[in-house]
Structure 1
Amino acid sequence: MTTQNAALREQLTPTNREYWDQLASLLAQQPKRTSDAQLHDLLTGLLVAQSRQEEASQFFGGTPAEAVRTLTATLWPRPWWLTSDLWFPFILFTIGIILPTAILPAVPLQASLMAVQYGLLVIALGLGIWLAPKFSPRGRLISWGIIIVVLLAALSVAARWVPAAGLFYLTRKGGSLFLLAFAVALTGLIVGVQRRQPASWLPALTADVWITTLLALMARIAPTSSLMVTATGNLIIALGTILGDLSILIIGWHIWQARQATDED
């Protein structure tokens, strides 16, 4: 293949050959190696363009440096699942499963249980990602539904059987500062991702993040802290949880509609 590529290179015009040499040199400097087969395909395409009186800069869409940025995404595409949406299940899991257990400052978080919970989430995501390409859209929906049900069952078992270890509390002062910083950091992440990817799923979580944070702050700051340990406080927490879940569904529905409209276009 190397010999064939050298022969193809000799068929280039001097200008295109100079461009190609610069491009090949830049590609060789990339972390991932460009195979001879990939170079062969690029050379073949360039020769076809040359036969149409097209310069290499036109064919590759710019200077060699600009072409490399485009080609790296083409030659070594990211896995389909490695997008900003991968944050969604982890953030949802954190604000939907982990943080609600620590809304009241007297209830500790368990490091051992959290490690098991996140481990189960990673296993579930890995299984879902592996199965997704094997099914039709309807099959993917069913498979993800089954995985979620099994995950919830496994989390329930883990909550009962994992020994309590590594207990730590989100205290009134330190915990409040941590929760505020956490909510601000998540909001910053969501806003940053949305600017790059307007149809991202992450904005669906924004309201729930702040509702959960507000409930936790109410349980730590006077005068509402005493209220939150009563039956009325339990009702407020329950209503807040329902409101947070509804916000995810409503905002998520609008995002889904926007994505469908984009796909149709």
Structure 2
Amino acid sequence: MAKHPAIATQNAALRDQLTASNRDYWDRLVALLAKQPKRTSDRQLHDLLTGLLIAQQRDEPASQFFGGEPEDAVETLLTTLWPRPWWLTADLGFPFLLLTIGIVLPTAFLPAVPLQAPLLAVQYGLLIVALAIGIWLTPKFAFKGQIVSWGIIVLVLLVALNLAARWVPTAGLIFLTRKGGTVFLLAFAVIVTALIVWAKKRRTETWLPALTADLWITILLAVMARVAPTSALMVTTTGSILIAIGTVIGDLSILIIGWHIWQTRQAD
């Protein structure tokens, strides 16, 4: 634990004011906190002790104040003493998956059209920069300001991605072949779907389920371009129409499911 002599001395004096049962509880709690990966500072312990003494004056035992036995209380304290950043959730994967499903994979629908490693690096790099700017700006604005700022960021990002697709030199070609590419695409879809199910179980209003339909539509179209007898069809005008229809349906599914998730979040 982080040591500050002056505060540590105050903590020792505060501890002496605890009743025997509360002191025993406190010592057990401190011992458990000391075993955690993150260090509990003397200042944090001081705040906890102060709160416990106030509860003691109300004849409230330590187990009631901390919400259970020390082993249970530690789990709660870990989330209050070291809260995760607001943006560090499963939803952080949403923009990366959206870029992959909506922009990256559609460029390689046909097995003869490869992905380009330098372009991929630029695309995901631009996304990371955009997210960093958005995360930095979000706390500085009210709700309407957040919507406007994120809207501007998205528009600038789309323009930058378009320019990157034109200007980044062709190199580092990655072909999603008929057999290997099909296996990769199906495995990717299954893994992402499993992650979405897992994220939804942890947090029902996560944004990730909005991508499920678009994910499988995109994968289905890409697989159709790699297996007989549909592979020949996908290089024709009919195939182009199917890709266009699938793209529209996928985009609409994101909007419709996303709107439903938005309403659920607002209700909560």
Per the normalisation by structure 2, the TM-score is: 0.96
Alignment of 1:115-126 (within 5 A): 115-126=121-132
1:138 corresponds to:
144
Structure 2 unaligned segments of length 5 or more: list them.
1-6
The offset of 1:161, in angstroms, is: 1.4
2:21 corresponds to:
15
Deviations 1:190-232 (A, max 9, x none): 0011011011111000000000000001101111100100111
1-structure distance, mates of 2:237, 2:222: 16
1:101 corresponds to:
107
1:49 counterpart (47, 55, 80): 55
1:249 corresponds to:
255
Alignment RMSD (CA, Å): 0.8
2-structure distance, mates of 1:146, 1:69: 40
1:149 corresponds to:
155
1:90 counterpart (70, 87, 96): 96
Alignment of 1:1-80 (within 5 A): 1-80=7-86
1:179 corresponds to:
185
Deviations 1:119-174 (A, max 9, x none): 00000000000001111111111111111111111111111111112101111111
2:214 corresponds to:
208
2-structure distance, mates of 1:63, 1:93: 46
The offset of 1:37, in angstroms, is: 1.4
Moved more, 148-157 or 242-251: 148-157
2:197 corresponds to:
191
Deviations 1:204-262 (A, max 9, x none): 00000000000001101111100100111111101100000000000111111111111
1:127 corresponds to:
133
> SS of the counterpart of 1:12?
coil
> SS of the counterpart of 1:229?
coil
1:158 corresponds to:
164
Per the normalisation by structure 1, the TM-score is: 0.97
The offset of 1:87, in angstroms, is: 1.0
1:228 corresponds to:
234
The offset of 1:48, in angstroms, is: 1.2
1:238 counterpart (231, 238, 244): 244
2:223 counterpart (217, 228, 246): 217
Runs of 4+ more than 2 Å apart? none
1-structure distance, mates of 2:25, 2:17: 13
2:118 counterpart (112, 123, 129): 112
2-structure distance, mates of 1:156, 1:186: 26
Q: Percent of pairs identical after alignment?
A: 71
> SS of the counterpart of 2:234?
helix
2-structure distance, mates of 1:178, 1:225: 17
1-structure distance, mates of 2:40, 2:162: 48
2-structure distance, mates of 1:90, 1:122: 9
The offset of 1:55, in angstroms, is: 1.3
